[in-house]
Chain A
């Protein structure tokens, strides 16, 4: 049971996208995630100091790709969109900010 929970939390990723707002950012990222069978569980976005910021919670457990391959695909899209993108396993945030 514990092992299952651990695997579950290991498969969650957080994607943070920031940069100048433009048309098609969400569409492009979502498209790449769909291609890689990453399920989007939650999205939050806002404009902060004229910058577009988006946070996306994804689940990679159904994907046939490795974390590294998925990350590379997303970062490549980030370059094309000229956006800064961070792709991290969610565990780092859970561990750092919860007691």
Chain B
């Protein structure tokens, strides 16, 4: 029997129109493992042909579905096999060339980002991995759409401190080579611990080893919807009831993502992969995770209590969303990027949200230190120290953590960087200036932790 439930209809339209509910990304995940060859030009040709073949309808299909449900699909993207693997078979490595090929393929099919220019090196690097990492700054400077991620640690393998040291230098150089654009190269480069292989969100999206030939992964969003729902609750609502409300909203957001994902996958004739049930903010007013903390009763992000608020939010989002989808994966949870969240930008600019508080928050959020601008004169060893700390949090707590910091060239505390679009803008945040050099230069690996005696 069909009938009209006007309350449901108005609620849905309000979520989309007023509170910025959207599908943040539909990401075509594609294996490029069959594109290997000893000649890098042939690899490039195979890569280009495969991407443009599989993704030719991605954007038009997404637009068709957007139209039918009147729900915006903000980003259409592609994630591929870590390119270190694909390019490693070549006699002469040329990863910058492969980056340019990926960039062109992405442009030709109309997607704004392609992820997977990366490597998994938590236990050690192959020659190809090293060549890829060394090519990252150049590759990011010479392309527009490439995103790069390197997994340098895991709970099973420990932390590859040689890679951490290398990544400190790489991030710094990626920023320097894009100094004319506030160091945007570093905004497209991320280090991970326990990276998931089915994440549809940039900059960390790639197509993992255990994944099928191709799949469609969907990232949902909706911090504004959660904030509005919490604000609508009476002031004296207790935490149990507030968590339940978040779960209900997360269910609604995720089931919408599931509908879109399954429809897209069916029309493209590829398998549906996962829903990443994340609260991903944008710089738009009202679409902020920091705004949720305020709705919960904190004066601003960074106040004592923020870590607890984030822990509850992150957990409730997962609990609510998981029932709405048959396959949940990726980074699922609440993101806390600084430059991409109007509330976080404001809190950081006012000085009430500090780098150290952000680090504490990453122990309970879904990812890590994200889109944080730091002074351009920060030594690369200090960046390695930041990475090592963040990887340690992920390794010990068996969660995904990440670092995406931008050492903004020629900028100091009090200045700001402006990337525009979804990458937003951020104040340069002060960081600890004590030296980490001797520590990070020791080399080797921090051993994997014991998985019992959980104290």
| Contact of A92 with B71 in the complex, beta carbons under 8 Å | yes
**Residue with the highest number of chain B CB atoms closer than 10 Å, among A12, A16, A96:** A96
Q: How many residues of A contact B (CB 8 A)?
A: 27
Q: Whose C-beta in chain A lies nearest to the C-beta of B16?
A: A86
Question: Is chain A's binding surface mostly helix, strand, loop or mixed?
Answer: strand
B residues touching A (Cβ–Cβ < 8 Å)?
Answer: 2-6, 8-13, 64, 67-71, 251-252, 255-256, 258-259, 323
Partner of B68, one of A89, A96, A97: A89
| Contact of A95 with B259 in the complex, beta carbons under 8 Å | yes
**A16-B9, A96-B8, A97-B8 in contact; A91/B69 too (CB < 8 A)?**
yes
- Cα A41 to Cα B11 in complex, Å, equals 22
**A68-B67, A87-B70 in contact; A92/B2 too (CB < 8 A)?**
no
| Contact of A93 with B12 in the complex, beta carbons under 8 Å | yes
Q: Render A1-37 as a binary contact track against B, CB cut-off 8 A, 1 for contact.
A: 0000000000010101000000000000000000000
Point out the residues of chain B lying under 8 angstroms from A68, CB to CB.
Answer: 64, 67
A sample of 9 cross-chain residue pairs with beta-carbon separation below 8 angstroms, ordered by A number, consists of A16-B9, A55-B9, A57-B4, A88-B12, A88-B68, A92-B259, A93-B5, A95-B256, A96-B259
Residues of A73-99 at the interface with B, using a CB-CB cut-off of 8 Å, are: 86-93, 95-97, 99
- Cα A88 to Cα B68 in complex, Å, equals 6
Q: Whose C-beta in chain A lies nearest to the C-beta of B260?
A: A92
- Cα A67 to Cα B263 in complex, Å, equals 15
A residues touching B (Cβ–Cβ < 8 Å)?
Answer: 12, 14, 16, 41-44, 46, 53, 55-57, 67-68, 71, 86-93, 95-97, 99
| Contact of A96 with B13 in the complex, beta carbons under 8 Å | no
| Contact of A42 with B259 in the complex, beta carbons under 8 Å | no
Additional pairs, 8, CB under 8 Å, beyond known A68-B64, A86-B13, A91-B69: A44-B6, A55-B6, A68-B67, A93-B8, A93-B9, A95-B256, A95-B258, A96-B12
| Contact of B6 with A41 in the complex, beta carbons under 8 Å | no
Point out the residues of chain B lying under 8 angstroms from A89, CB to CB.
Answer: 68-69
| Contact of A86 with B70 in the complex, beta carbons under 8 Å | yes
| Contact of B255 with A71 in the complex, beta carbons under 8 Å | no
Point out the residues of chain A lying under 8 angstroms from B6, CB to CB.
Answer: 44, 46, 53, 55
Point out the residues of chain A lying under 8 angstroms from B71, CB to CB.
Answer: 92
- Cα A43 to Cα B69 in complex, Å, equals 20
